[in-house]
Amino acid sequence: AQTVTQSQPEMSVQEAETVTLSCTYDTSESDYYLFWYKQPPSRQMILVIRQEAYKQQNATENRFSVNFQKAAKSFSLKISDSQLGDAAMYFCAYRSDFQGGSEKLVFGKGTKLTVNP
């Protein structure tokens, strides 16, 4: 079974600074997707960024980028120019991509990000 590990229960960053959230995963599959979700105090899950395992290029979405290291099974999220609105729980998630595989997401335990003004 796949597992996702987020080793940082809490992180803090100064506004306008850069922060990196860590995520490692364990799988025997070669085809899969990785995601970062944000859950603000409203508790609405918001997709931040997605990475296909077959793509070597790291995904980016505006201020958010990932460092995907497939061999190391590492998938970190970098938030640049942090804003107060970035304060939230961040969850790393895994999804299988092979034919007939499960569509369900496997979540890490989350990292609470605080942004200090």
Partner 1 sequence: GAVVSQHPSWVICKSGTSVKIECRSLDFQATTMFWYRQFPKQSLMLMATSNEGSKATYEQGVEKDKFLINHASLTLSTLTVTSAHPEDSSFYICSAHRDGVEQYFGPGTRLTVT
CA 95 to chain centre: 12
> Which one of 16, 18, 30, 104 is in contact with partner 1 (CB under 8 A)?
104
| Alpha-helical segments (H) within the chain | none
Q: Which is nearer to partner 1, 14 or 40 (CB)?
A: 40
Under the binding rule (CB under 8 A), the answer on residue 105 touching partner 1 is yes
Contacting residues for 81 by C-beta, under 8 A, at least 6 apart: 16, 17, 18, 63
> How does strand 32-39 pair with strand 19-21?
unpaired
Give the 3-state secondary structure of residue 88. Answer: strand
Q: Least CB distance from residue 6 to partner 1, whole Å? A: 9
88-96 and 105-107 as β-strands: parallel, antiparallel, unpaired? antiparallel
Q: 29-48 mask for partner 1 (x: CB under 8 A)?
A: ----x--------xxxxxx-
Does position 70 interact with partner 1 (CB under 8 A)? The reply is no
Task: Decide: is 11 part of the binding site for partner 1 (CB under 8 A).
Answer: no
Binding of residue 99 to partner 1 (CB under 8 A): no
**53 lines the binding site for partner 1 (CB under 8 A):** no
